[in-house]
Structure 1
Amino acid sequence: MSLRLPSEIVVEDVLPTLRVLLARELAEHGLTQREVAAHLGVTQAAVSTYLNGDPELEPRIADHPETAATVERVAAGLAEGEMDGYDALSAVLELIRSFEDRGPICELHEEAMPGLQGLGCDLCVRGANPELRTERAVLDSVREASRLLATTPAVVDHVPNVGTNVGTALPDADGPADVAAVPGRIYVMNGSVEVPANPEFGASEHVATTVLAATAVDPDRRGALNLATDDALLAAARDRGLDVLEFDAGYEDRGERLRERFADRGVVPDVLFHRGAFGIEPITYVLGETGAAAARLAVELVETAE
């Protein structure tokens, strides 16, 4: 993963656009190129390029309504003598901080560092903290699981019509928003497993229901994925000595019913399946400590079942 600091994004993508916009707005207020250059701390030649050339602008910054409001306020304040350099800098910094808080600077940073996508990064706003590290680990687990599923040819034949998903819950998760999964589900296209997006929290209610039922009984079982129910796969699981449990396919109160079954048994199974019902496709869940662990086990099972 390429290492790009947020400050580099500001210097290379944001400030050049803001300087062009401020130069044009100051010129609209009647300031000379020399005066504009003095306010912006650039050369007069640079100002001439800003005004008469065709400098490249970053559209996500240039077209943002907060940018327009800040540029108008700063230019008017400088032109009318109601702002000095300190005031102008303060206004620009306020805009940049706003853009660093899930704004266009975040988007630009994710493009420069694709590994940040889907992490809900708050480094610029909150700095590093244990909660963010835990969230990253959960998202990384789902990402690892997705890659494994997408690169294992045998998985193709076990993806149900409704699609596959894989989830990992945060420690002490208490709702679907605390379970990371793949938005839109994983599906098969042209004979290959396709992962449509980076993992996000709250992306799959069905996988989250199973994961939350498991963690309520065994806090170490925080991962699960679904596959099509297949007798060869179930046989492979039993041959390995895994704990396999059948459950009712109905959706109504499924989480509570699973939680009660697990509690009655005193243990969460390794493999959980149903045979379907009217309008409900037969589905098997493989569970593990994380989504990645569940995916590794699922891959071993589908390859054995081939």
Structure 2
Amino acid sequence: MSLVLPSELVVDRFLPTVRAMLAVRLAERGLTQREIADELGVTQAAVSKYVGGESGGDDRFRNDPETVATVERIADGLASGELDGYDALAELLSLVRSLEDRGPICELHEEEMPELRGLGCDLCVRGLDPDVRAERDVLANVRTATRTLASIPGMVDAVPNVGTNVGMCLPDPRDETDVAAIPGRIYAMGGRIEIPANPEFGASKHVATAVIAANAVEPEVRGAINIATDDDLLEAARKRGLDPLEFDADYEDRGAHLRRQFADRGTVPRVAYHRGAFGIEPATYVFGATAADAAELIDDLLEAAAS
């Protein structure tokens, strides 16, 4: 793991870019290079490079509307004397806090530390939070589940035309934003499983709906995976004593329909399926305490169905 602090990015990427932007704006307002150097706390040689466009910098900040507006405001204030160094510093600190909150600094941080991607990380603005740990655990579990699916020999044939997705919810989910899944779904291509992206919260609607419906009836159930409906797999489930639940594919409110079915049974089945309807491909949902549990069950059932 590459451990990078946001403050490092501020010093290495943000500050040089903003200094160069300010140098150009102040030069446009008639300040000499010596005056600009005094305002920015750098050498005149550095100002010459800034003004000459030799300083590099990061276009994410240079093209960011909030950064541009702040730089213009500071340049106007310094040039007119309405702002001093303290005021300019306050403006920049406020800008940094804003850019760390899902802005370009946050984007750069995710590039430097890929472990942060998909977390909705608020460490910079909110500090250490137990909710963040719970989100990380869910995302890690979904990643484990997808790796399991990709390693199953018969999984390619179990992926429906609409794709497979892996979902796992946080405790007490409110809506699909509390369910982590794979953006764009998982597809079978060229005889192998294609996983297009790392899991994110709010990336799935259909699997999220099934997970939330199951969790509402049985809070211990937090994971689900959709696969193609296959009679051999259903028979393998029955031989394991799992008693798959068949439900109607043609319904208006998927979540309410599934909750009723689960409540009527008194428990959430490990396997629930439908045979499809007009414009609806047959689908089977495999549930588990976690997404990884559901993936392991699929592995077992596909192996049993193939034997």
For normalisation by structure 2, the TM-score amounts to: 0.94
Q: Which moved more, 1:183-192 or 1:113-122?
A: 183-192
User: What is the distance in 1 between the residues matched to 2:303 and 2:44?
Assistant: 68
Unaligned runs of 5+ in 2: none
Unaligned runs of 5+ in 1: none
The SS at the match of 1:94 is helix
Residue aligning to 2:65: 65
Residue 27, structure 1, aligned to residue 27, structure 2:
yes
User: What is the distance in 2 between the residues matched to 1:174 and 1:24?
Assistant: 49
Pairs within 5 Å for 1:240-259:
240-259=240-259
Deviations 1:199-243 (A, max 9, x none): 232322211221122111110001100000112222222233334
Residue 76, structure 1, aligned to residue 100, structure 2:
no
Letter in 1 for 2:20: V
Residue aligning to 2:133: 133
User: What is the distance in 2 between the residues matched to 1:15 and 1:71?
Assistant: 12
Pairs within 5 Å for 1:96-135:
96-135=96-135
Q: Which moved more, 1:47-56 or 1:104-113?
A: 47-56
The SS at the match of 1:204 is coil
Deviations 1:160-196 (A, max 9, x none): 0111011111211132232222222111122221122
For normalisation by structure 1, the TM-score amounts to: 0.94
Deviations 1:106-164 (A, max 9, x none): 11111111111111111111111122222222222222222322343421110001110
Structure 1 residues 4 and 153 mapped into 2: Cα distance closer, same or farther (>3 Å)?
farther
Letter in 1 for 2:171: P
Residue aligning to 1:11: 11
Letter in 2 for 1:173: P
User: What is the distance in 2 between the residues matched to 1:115 and 1:8?
Assistant: 17
Residue 287, structure 1, aligned to residue 292, structure 2:
no
The SS at the match of 1:287 is strand
Residue aligning to 1:305: 305
Structure 1 residues 116 and 275 mapped into 2: Cα distance closer, same or farther (>3 Å)?
same
User: What is the distance in 1 between the residues matched to 2:136 and 2:305?
Assistant: 33
Matched positions, count? 306
Q: CA RMSD in A?
A: 1.7
User: What is the distance in 2 between the residues matched to 1:177 and 1:222?
Assistant: 14
Deviation at 1:53, TM superposition (A): 4.7
Runs of 4+ in structure 1 over 6 Å off: none
User: What is the distance in 1 between the residues matched to 2:25 and 2:257?
Assistant: 64
Letter in 1 for 2:191: G
Residue aligning to 1:233: 233
Whether the 8 Å CA contact 1:288–1:294 is kept in 2: the answer is yes
User: What is the distance in 2 between the residues matched to 1:251 and 1:295?
Assistant: 27
Whether the 8 Å CA contact 1:77–1:83 is kept in 2: the answer is yes
Pairs within 5 Å for 1:54-203:
54-203=54-203
User: What is the distance in 2 between the residues matched to 1:96 and 1:284?
Assistant: 48
The SS at the match of 2:279 is coil
Residue aligning to 2:218: 218
Percent same amino acid at aligned positions? 66
Whether the 8 Å CA contact 1:222–1:289 is kept in 2: the answer is yes
Whether the 8 Å CA contact 1:167–1:207 is kept in 2: the answer is yes
